[in-house]
Amino acid sequence: MALSSSSSLIIIVFLFFNQATTEVLGCYTSIFSFGDSLADTGNRVYYDAHSQYKHFPYGITFFNQSTGRCSNGRLIIDFIAQALGLSFLPSYLGHQNPDFKHGVNFAVAGATALDSASLIKRGIPPTTNYSLEVQLGWFKQLLPSLCSSPSNCRSMLRNALFTVGEIGGNDYNDPLLEGKNKQELQTLVPEVINIISSAITALVEEGAVTLLVPGNFPIGCLSSYLTIFESKNQNDYDPSGCLKWLNEFSQFHNQLLQNELNRLREIYPNTTIIYADYYNLAMDLFRFPKQLGFKGTSGVLAACCGGGGRYNYNTSAICSFEGSTCCDDPSLCVNWDGIHLTEAAYKWIATGILERSFTSCISSEHHNVDHSITLLSSL
């Protein structure tokens, strides 16, 4: 398709984001978020005094201070909350007099799908004890304080949006860094998917009616992976400069996840389970950076905040630590710190999710369909 047509679509999508807040206002009265650093709004920094996310330039773009978010500004969950007319989700940990009436964020940076015991059994050292199962336990403990009776709870949960993930990326990180190949990693994926499925099932049994379940990002386009697994063989890279084998692994995880979500939809026909296609929405940013208002290919692959090198990622000088520097304009970058994306990138992804999945959420009817998102990738 010609560039002009692609540009027109981009303009339409971005215009939609400005309309989304009005159109879907009031669809949900609360959001309950589970996951890892892609959604954490402050849980990790509450218990980790040495976290890099406690320091500037994290939060520099929107909040003008670090908030515990692993980006320069807002995350996908923040944009979704804003579009639904809700406040930013408070983190579960660290609040003395919390107001969780409109939702709460259980996501923890570094969280895994598998619990610590399962990871240790596989020889994988856990980076945190707050697995998806632990987060689910927090929700169950909190629920009685949010509603006064079973009928009130059912009503509240029926009008709530549950976001389950992204989760699973941290389960794969250590095996990757230990040199496990794609085939070895793939043996871990069904177990991760099973845990995600069990969490969804538990939430539905508690009364959840609408669940948003994201897939994994194309990790072969992230600065950290591009640095650690840099190859001299150009055949290992796709036209956007991303490592093909790592992206193929992400796609493998996402395909198994979608298969499982389809199975769950058949079991729970009165529940809306939405697959959010983080992979293809993010790939648009790497395939069409200039058309979307970002730097060229080399620019979107390099981290905005980092310690130098081809992709501005250095394990000895990670973002916010001594030796790292921050780019002048994060809004032109996709990669933030080598692992996470910028606010501008997250806004694009959130827009895509809202554009397809929530335009009709004010309807009382739940449509049990697969709301996968593909925009420029399908052109």
CA distances from 156 to 44, 49, 78, 341 (A): 27, 35, 21, 33
Residue 202 exposure: Cα atoms within 13 Å on the Cβ side: 17
Cα-flanking dihedrals φ and ψ of residue 348, to 5°?
-60, -45
The residue annotated as part of the active site, out of 36, 171, 253, 340, is 340
Cα–Cα dist 338/302, whole Å: 7
pLDDT at 194 (0 to 100)? 99
Cα-flanking dihedrals φ and ψ of residue 218, to 5°?
-75, 90
Q: Verify whether residue 337 is a known catalytic residue.
A: yes
The residue annotated as part of the active site, out of 37, 51, 71, 118, is 37
* Domains of the chain as residue ranges with CATH: 3-378 (3.40.50.1110)
The tens digit of pLDDT for each residue in 102-153 reads 999 999 999 999 999 999 999 888 889 999 999 999 999 999 999 989 999 9
Burial label, 38 (beta-carbon count in 10 A; 0-12, 13-18, 19+): buried
pLDDT at 204 (0 to 100)? 98
Q: Verify whether residue 30 is a known catalytic residue.
A: no
The list of the chain residues with pLDDT below 50 reads: 1-25, 360-379
0.75 exceeded by the pTM? Answer: yes
pLDDT at 340 (0 to 100)? 98
